[in-house]
Amino acid sequence: MILLSDPRTRRRRLGVAAAAAGLLAALLTAGPAVATPDPGDGPAKSKEVSKSARAEARTAIEGGEIPGVDQVVHSRNIEHLANIPKDALPGTNSDLAFQGRYAFAGNYDGFRIFDISNPKKPKTVAQVLCPGSQNDISVSGDLLFLSTDSSRSDSSCNSTTQPATEKSSWEGMKVFDISDKRNPRYVAAVETACGSHTHTLVPERKNVYIYVSSYSPNAAYPDCQPPHDGISVIKVPRKAPERAAVVGFPVLFPGEGPDGGGNPGGPTNPGVSKTTGCHDITVLPSKDLAAGACMGDGILFSIKDPERPKVIDRVQDNVNFAFWHSATFNQEANKVVFTDELGGGGAATCNAEIGPNRGADGIYDIVGRGDHRELVFRSYFKIPRHQADTENCVAHNGSLIPVQGRDIMVQAWYQGGVSVWEFTDSKRPKEIAYFERGPLSTQTISTGGSWSAYYYNGYIYSNDIAKGFDVLKLSDRRTDPAERVHLRELNTQTQPDYFD
């Protein structure tokens, strides 16, 4: 069923060189993991690896254990329809959003709009230069929202980098009018504490609420002071987006001390990130629920009152999770998949030495009712194909594939590629399809691969950090029913009720 040999038996050797060179020990004993790779406004820098790791990568390619440099491989049930290389925006490609026949692709230098009415031949409609990592992106009606998480000289798209120690520096949310897709218009900016690493929309008829996730406060940063134990909530009136403003900062981790009551991280919990905010939040508006991936904690909370979210349950995994990165509900809202971004997205963690439980997904059942619901751990899932030690690889952004009665999602794994996997049985997850490229290099670890991979109206779209925008077609009896589901808009962190 797959183009290469059975992934259960191949690539067992990869990763041994890393352990021999001491790289594994360095990874596991390092300080708190950082979040997604943050090279500022330029391309990520390559990092040297050991001679033994370079030799092992070359040997694995020659032996057919991994694909060659830039070689595309995939399971037989996936077809690679198109790739659109990066153009006027050379920075790191980031997240995706969708509306009608358009895809919106974030980039550390701005964003790009594609016409995907013919998925085999996507066309660039607009490219907007507006630097500010990481430019996490979403859309609602005629509005587009962009996160800025690098300290800038001002809120304009002509700003330059400036130290966060300066009070005049700016970070936060930008709002664009996209009623004319060919000419997006910048209409508002809202500064938020510690910037905006990611954001999540909670749309209403008259307003759009934005949950802003940010973290890592510092006493030396005037606009990012500890404790930073919650999220910023922005209210954007649809008919007057220029009046967008912060309406609250709900505390999610109340507690004593300079960092609030979140996970203390090391040395109490070695190798685990200290919780000083959230990395990403996914909301399920139809169920008034949200799941937060908050560095050292995973949380479940109610959003019945969108300005005052209420935490229902909180979990930690101080054995295998280093950095709680993102979350995905299943359709029935009785499961949540949390991702662990071990190594910050810039390390080689998909090898034999790291193993199947670290840098993986954690699958949790939601049990109970109302405010008494709890998150109960069931299993881990990690792609079964080991990667070279020159490939950054770890669990990253994904979305549900809407198949009624089954829990299936597609997910990005950086240079581990794109994986389609099923967790209908939350104790026994399994991969059913994949797409990946060979390493960018056999000499250095260069940040690349799929940042986000989402299913939208019959196709899978992936934003590759280095290689550009990919379109994939999945043909499998288990997922074919999803082709009957069509949405007018998709922001993956605002999960729709596909069968309402």
Q: How many CB atoms lie within 10 A of CB 296?
A: 25
Q: Is 132 left (phi over 0), alpha (psi -120 to 50) or beta?
A: left
* Closest CA relative to residue 128, chosen from 189, 172, 179, 178: 178
Query: What pLDDT is attached to residue 42?
Result: 44
Query: What pLDDT is attached to residue 314?
Result: 98
The ranges assigned to domains in the chain are: 16-490
Apex 88 CA angle, 210 and 348, nearest 5:
70
- Which residue in the block uniquely carries the two structure tokens 């358009």? 102
Domain 16-490, architecture per CATH: 7 Propeller (2.130)
Query: What pLDDT is attached to residue 11?
Result: 41
Query: What pLDDT is attached to residue 391?
Result: 96
Distance CA 124, CA 104 (A): 10
pTM of structure: 0.93
Query: Do 39 and 133 meet the contact criterion of CB atoms below 8 Å apart?
Result: yes
- Which residue in the block uniquely carries the two structure tokens 């069968």? 499
Sequence-distant (6+) residues with CB within 8 A of 12 are 352, 386
Distance CA 441, CA 401 (A): 32
Low-confidence ranges of the chain (pLDDT < 50): 1-13, 16-43
* Closest CA relative to residue 437, chosen from 412, 408, 459: 412
Query: What pLDDT is attached to residue 45?
Result: 67
Query: What pLDDT is attached to residue 53?
Result: 86
